Copies of this chain bind each other. A is one copy, B any other.
Amino acid sequence: MTAQMTAATTEYDVIVLGAGPTGENLADRTRAAGLSTALVESELVGGECSYWACMPSKALLRPSAALAAARAVAGSREAVTGKLDTAAVLARRDSFTANWKDDGQAAWVAGIGADLVRGEGRLDGVRRVVVRTPEGGERVLTARHAVAVCTGTRAVLPAGVPGLAEARPWTSREATSAKEAPARLLVVGGGVVGVEMAAAWQALGSQVTLLVRGSGLLPRLEPFAGELVAAGLRASGVTVRFDAEVASVARDGAVVTVRLDDGTELAAEELLYATGRAPHTDGLGLASVGLNDGDWLSVDDHCAVRGVEGGWLYAAGDVNHRALLTHQGKYQARMAGAAIAARALGRTVDPAPWGPHVATADLTAVPQVIFTEPEVAAVGLSADEARRAGHRVKAVDYEIGQVAGASLAADNYQGRARMVVDLDREVLLGVTFVGPGVGDLLHSATVAVVGEVPIDRLWHAVPAYPTVSEIWLRLLETYRDAE
């Protein structure tokens, strides 16, 4: 089964295109099953997440969050007499990205016994991959069982904004890897990247203005999430402008000027555009297997690509557009890797929801944490989403600051929680927490939603006193007393 895996090998059981967290996890699963595996990567092993997304963004955000927490408590507040050390934060960020070197991750790939093939990979028909090597040559690889596309996404700039490309705006890559704080930073986009980078660079010394097309931030989440984040950003000094449509952009040397539809002109040293992502499938040879280059790859719950005969082509992670989050890509990779291995080894692939070969949680229980101040942590459906999906729903809210544990954690704690209950089954469809430090509260909700733990049983899950987790008791009481 296992081929001898040297650089000269051209036939593998499994070929994985893209060595980000998703590709790495998929290869880990196929290797664990004894399948020879090639991992093709044109940039850094470890992917967007390790170098230009999750890791550097959280490294930029964590020190100011830690400082804010110390400032929020009488007694420790008095000890914080200095300022955030921007140079130290940036140096720490650099260490988390290993200074944008991937030796450690390449060694990890070797450690699991997969072959790392550097270069641009593209499909060239059924179970066949052509890799353009860094040296300019081509290598042809064939897969006995499966090819998995884990190439993720890239930032895209909107078309039709005059001067935008010429102004050399930052995307998420430049925003997470910048070597110093610009004096002024304009951020366009009220999604996760926009709010996190606005928070980070404001804390690191920039004067940040956040420009949002719509009337609120984080539109996919419960409305109060965006409202509390907007209030937090403003309290930190960020200028937040809603209904702001960019008409044109111009750069003049060190200064970039953004002109809005209403004629307002805003100047800054840097401009971050965080308004959209596109699948990294251009130039991927999808036409050779009957698909279209540049499209998102539509998959079933095993992550097998729809419309491709023979079940040999998989797509996991952001590129399949199910849930554009690193942890969800890793999850899909575990499930897809297990499904690929089962098929390759002639075992049954289990199609049952919540089984070992399906990414069921993508449909109902995707968790997300946004590391602003306050933090946002949400899983499952919002109240609106649940109603639109046809559920009979009750949503209950509670101010987290009313919980003893929260008042101990921070003076004047501001935050809110919402629990969305399916009235027919009396289980949770979704939970949202917004407040300082709520990120690690989320997993309690994720277990409850995924575990389909009934409300009656949740009453027996006693939160330790006095922790912030007692918000659970308050939500249950509010639900009970609203009946």
Residues of A within 8 A of B (CB): 21, 49, 54-55, 58-59, 62-64, 66-67, 69-70, 72-86, 88-89, 91-92, 96, 325-328, 330-331, 334, 354-356, 360-361, 365-369, 377, 404-405, 407-409, 411, 437-444, 446-448, 450-451, 453, 456-470, 472
Q: A72-B66, A75-B88, A404-B55 are in contact. Are A458 and B465 (CB under 8 A)?
A: no
Residues of B within 8 A of A468 (CB): 439-440
A62 to B443, CA, bound (A): 23
Residues of B within 8 A of A70 (CB): 66-67, 69-70, 76, 80
A sample of 8 cross-chain residue pairs with beta-carbon separation below 8 angstroms, ordered by A number, consists of: A62-B409, A70-B80, A78-B84, A78-B88, A96-B407, A325-B464, A367-B463, A451-B457
The 9 closest A-B pairs by CB, nearest first: A63-B75, A75-B89, A451-B453, A78-B85, A443-B444, A327-B465, A70-B70, A79-B82, A443-B469
Output the nearest chain B residue to A467 by Cβ-Cβ distance: B439
Is the CB–CB distance between A466 and B55 below 8 Å?
A: yes
Is the CB–CB distance between B361 and A460 below 8 Å?
A: yes
Q: A81-B81, A366-B462, A461-B365 are in contact. Are A467 and B442 (CB under 8 A)?
A: yes
One complex includes copies of this chain to the number of 2
Residues of B within 8 A of A327 (CB): 462-465, 470
Q: A85-B78, A88-B75, A465-B326 are in contact. Are A447 and B451 (CB under 8 A)?
A: yes
Residues of B within 8 A of A469 (CB): 439-440, 442-443
Residues of B within 8 A of A448 (CB): 447, 451
Is the CB–CB distance between B85 and A79 below 8 Å?
A: yes
Question: Interface on chain A toward B: helix, strand, loop, or mixed SS?
Answer: helix
A80 CB to nearest B CB, Å: 5
Residues of B within 8 A of A80 (CB): 70, 79-82
A122 CB to nearest B CB, Å: 28
A89 to B369, CA, bound (A): 31
Q: A82-B81, A92-B74 are in contact. Are A443 and B463 (CB under 8 A)?
A: yes
Is the CB–CB distance between A361 and B447 below 8 Å?
A: no
Output the nearest chain B residue to A353 by Cβ-Cβ distance: B460
Is the CB–CB distance between B74 and A88 below 8 Å?
A: yes
A53 to B114, CA, bound (A): 55
A223 CB to nearest B CB, Å: 21
Q: A85-B79, A444-B443 are in contact. Are A66 and B69 (CB under 8 A)?
A: yes
Task: Give the residue among A79, A409, A453 with the most B Cβ atoms within 10 A.
Answer: A79
A62 CB to nearest B CB, Å: 5
A405 to B369, CA, bound (A): 12
The residue from B63, B328, B458 contacting A74, defined by CB atoms under 8 A apart: B63
Is the CB–CB distance between B360 and A464 below 8 Å?
A: no
Task: Give the residue among A63, A69, A447 with the most B Cβ atoms within 10 A.
Answer: A447
The residue from B55, B66, B462 contacting A328, defined by CB atoms under 8 A apart: B462
Output the nearest chain B residue to A93 by Cβ-Cβ distance: B75
Residues of B within 8 A of A86 (CB): 75
Residues of B within 8 A of A78 (CB): 82-85, 88
Q: A49-B465, A408-B58, A466-B55 are in contact. Are A354 and B76 (CB under 8 A)?
A: no
